[in-house]
Chains A and B, each alone.
Chain A
Amino acid sequence: MPAPGGGHGGVSREEVVGFRAGDPDSVRAVYGAYGRLVYAVAHRTLGSRELAEEATQQTFVKAWQAASSFDPERELGPWLATIARRTAIDLHRREARRPVAELSDAVLNDQVVVDMPPGVDRAYDVWAVREAIDALPDDERTVVQLQHLHDLTQSEVAERLGIPIGTVKSRSYRAHRTLAARLQHLRDVVE
């Protein structure tokens, strides 16, 4: 689960209350704070941009519909992450259209009725990593993206960005130091 980070990720309590009322500006504020994270979870689970868009939209609608039961004093992120994960699972099942062999023989919590998409087990980790990445300064995030997503060496990053390799090294070090600290809870979960 996403680690508690305090507050609502930049969303004020008033905006959370406004979101519950369906206020458009509040919805924009909540989407602005969490839309990318929800989309990343959906994309990881569904592997499709189109389905991830639909899942993201449904997640916010479901969140609004369930918002009356949400305590504004709680963390909004983990609650949204749970809804996002569940919504992606539902969409996956709809798209997969796989028959269940013996529904009448299923018992409570029997896995035969649970059809889980392959990427769903890391949905919360994706949320946490994306949240950590988004919190990096732009220049550090760019270096991290080039190093990991594009698999460039530091020399290649320096050449791509047109900056000294020493600058790349320092940005990389600061970024990864921050990521290692922020993602400590992932390591605790793995253990």
Chain B
Amino acid sequence: MTTDDDRIAYLAGETSGERLDEPERAELDEVRSLLADPSTWAEPPADLEASVVAAVGEAARPLASRPTPRRTRRPALGLVGVAAAVVALVVLVGPGGEPTNLEAVLVGTELAPGAEGQAVLTKTDAGWRIELDATGLPRLDDGRFYQAWLKPDDGEAVPIGTFNEPDGVVLWAGVSPKEYPTLTVTAESASDGTAASGDRVLGGPVTEP
């Protein structure tokens, strides 16, 4: 019968484990391999703490006072990820009382359950500028692409642009998100022509708080 000392000695690499049965050796081999793995011992750089504190502090600032999100490695704002379809919005109101700045949280659908993202919608003279970032969606190429839409509560969705991967995408809408308050992303194929595929991968509502 093996003892704790037999297991300890094998774990320490002092014996060949001949007194252990195969399942015990396999279990301890798992631990030994992790003890030998450089990742297990990897130390974060000393300045990472400050970066983390700064990043959380930036995220905790009121949305209205934040600059437009930039994709930088450090400090990075990080994407707004939520467990449920919760919408985080800020509305800046222009001189006429109409919102000029909106945000939306996007969650993945059954086709892409790991996807999530955010969009910042800004009113300009040229239309609504929409900056979209998302993760969990693979790049599409070779005639396949993503398409974003703004959809009203009733009626047809309006296309606002196509892209290959949702990384720092800028889209434009000639309709108001107030009247088309749902933003969706679908996966499309050029061979299908202009008809929408209906394959929603990401979506979320755009509303006033």
Query: Residues of A at under 8 Å CB distance from B?
Result: 21-22, 24, 27-28, 31-32, 35-36, 39-40, 43-44, 47, 49-50, 52-54, 56-58, 60-62, 64-66, 69, 86, 89-91, 93-94, 96-100, 103-104, 106, 108-109, 113-115, 119, 122, 125-126, 129-130, 133, 144-145, 147-149, 151, 154, 172-173, 176-177, 179-180, 183, 186-187, 190-191
Contacts and interface: CB of A to CB of B under 8 A. Distances in A.
A144 B12 CA distance: 8
Interface string B166-209: 01000000000000000000010100000001010100000000
A57 to B, nearest CB: 5
Contacts of A50: 73
A148 B76 contact: no
Task: Pick from B42, B43, B49, B135 the residue with the most CB of A within 10 Å.
Answer: B42
B135 A94 contact: yes
20 contacts: A24-B53, A27-B53, A27-B56, A39-B44, A43-B39, A49-B45, A57-B75, A64-B59, A97-B139, A98-B138, A99-B138, A99-B142, A104-B189, A106-B111, A130-B41, A133-B41, A149-B38, A179-B35, A183-B31, A187-B28
B127 interface: no
Contacts of B77: 61
Interface residues of B, number: 70
B82 interface: yes
A106 to B, nearest CB: 6
Contact of B59 (A22, A89, A94, A187): A22
